[in-house]
Amino acid sequence: MYRVLITDGMEAKAVEKLRSLGYEVVEQYYEPEVLGEVLQEFDVLVVRSATKVRKNIIDKALEKPRLKLIIRGGVGVDNIDVAYAMERGIKVTNTPNASSASVAELALAHMFALARFVNISNVTMRDGKWEKKKYEGIELAGKTLGLIGFGRIARELAKKASALGMKVVYYDIVGKIEGYDCCEYCSFEDVLKRADFLSLHIPLDKQKGTIIGKDEIALMKEGAYLINCARGGVVCEEALLEALNSGKLAGAGIDVFVEEPTKNEALLSHRNVSVTPHIGAQTIEAQTRIGEEIVNIIDDFFRNSVI
């Protein structure tokens, strides 16, 4: 019987489905110092964001080579040393389709929150303040949405923003994407310069590190907004805070942080920041789709592989 370890949780019906297909499923989080040894007794590891699968864990697991498949329930795989795992004969995959709509909707929610002061007025009203005259916002219609990265999530956001009457410009390392004539492909610098709202949809490259820092923010419009529902490390939090304090940026919507849970109180408490605790994929619908996709990946892998 193939054994599956789920360390960061999975939708209950998906777990039940795996068991009904004959897999032994264990749902348990393990600290890094013991995870590698535990994995010696499993064929599959399913993680989300909390579990980090680094070289030392992979090496320890393969002292008794049973682990064959690692699945990241979600889009990014930066918490896994993918290339090293693949070199050691472990397949690594993710669920790129399942959470696109949910993350796109959260990015849009942050845009609305900032444009209409939903974030800060929620706080001040609960403090007994009625600051109506302070909260003269803006409409999203007619504004330019700039997208850095134009994968599945960004394309979902582009469709929703276009429906609201926003102009969409984008940059992607692969160039212009066919079939999206309603959106304008631009250079990286032009997207920064033109965007009223800049939304990031790029993975964290550990070698490149920060993508949006002081120099990139300097290229942006005065009073623009930055939205990051991608990965915390792609934005320099120090440069972002400086831009918010100076007024260079009017606001920021942040779902992801360099360190999670974040200890950056200055950013969390800033009146021009809308924050959420990495909940991009945390919808009932997305979790259901992620669970279904994980079940299919596991079952297809063992049905079609010669082990």
More confident site: 182 or 164: 164
Question: Is the predicted pLDDT of residue 299 greater than 60, yes or no?
Answer: yes
Same domain, 270 and 292: no
Same domain, 159 and 226: yes
Distance, in Å, from the CA atom of 193 to the CA atom of 20, rounded to the nearest integer, reads 54
Same domain, 92 and 122: no
Q: Is 224 left (phi over 0), alpha (psi -120 to 50) or beta?
A: beta
Task: Note whether 212 and 224 are within 8 A (CB).
Answer: no
Angle subtended at Cα 212 by Cα 208 and Cα 214, rounded to the nearest 5 degrees: 115
Beta-strand relationship, 3-6 and 44-47: parallel
What's at 285, amino acid-wise?
Answer: E
Q: Check residue 143 and report its DSSP letter.
A: P
Could you tell me the CA-to-CA distances from 179 to 51, 155, 182 in Å, in that order? 37, 11, 9
Same domain, 76 and 150: no
Asked if the peptide bond before residue 32 counts as cis, ω within 30 degrees of 0, the response is no
The C-alpha torsion from 131 through 134 and 136 to 140, rounded to 10°, is: -90
Total structural domains in the chain?
A: 2
Distance, in Å, from the CA atom of 124 to the CA atom of 72, rounded to the nearest integer, reads 39
Question: Is the predicted pLDDT of residue 171 greater than 80, yes or no?
Answer: yes
Residue 21 token pair: 């297909």
Same domain, 168 and 250: yes
Instruction: Please list the active-site residues.
Output: 231, 260, 278
Same domain, 106 and 77: no
Residue 200 token pair: 């990031």
Can you give the residue range of the structural domain that contains 115? 100-275
Residue 294 token pair: 């994980």
Q: How many CA atoms lie within 13 A of 146 on its CB side?
A: 21
Q: Give the per-residue pLDDT at 307.
A: 47
Distance, in Å, from the CA atom of 233 to the CA atom of 212, rounded to the nearest integer, reads 9
Task: Note whether 121 and 137 are within 8 A (CB).
Answer: no
Distance, in Å, from the CA atom of 222 to the CA atom of 241, rounded to the nearest integer, reads 15
Same domain, 77 and 116: no
Could you tell me the CA-to-CA distances from 189 to 148, 179, 193, 195, 299 in Å, in that order? 10, 23, 6, 10, 44
CATH assignment at residue 40: 3.40.50.720
Mean pLDDT of 218-236: 97
Same domain, 135 and 84: no
For the chain, give the mean pLDDT.
95
Burial class (CB in 10 A: 0-12, 13-18, 19+), 89: exposed
Same domain, 116 and 86: no
Same domain, 56 and 137: no
Q: Model confidence over 26-85: pLDDT tens digits?
A: 999 999 999 999 999 999 999 998 999 999 999 999 999 999 999 999 888 889 999 999
Same domain, 173 and 135: yes
Same domain, 64 and 106: no
Distance, in Å, from the CA atom of 157 to the CA atom of 60, rounded to the nearest integer, reads 41
At residue 55, φ and ψ (nearest 5 deg) are -55, -45
Task: Note whether 233 and 258 are within 8 A (CB).
Answer: yes
Q: Model confidence over 257-285: pLDDT tens digits?
A: 999 999 999 999 999 999 999 999 999 99
Q: What percent of the chain stands above pLDDT 70? A: 99
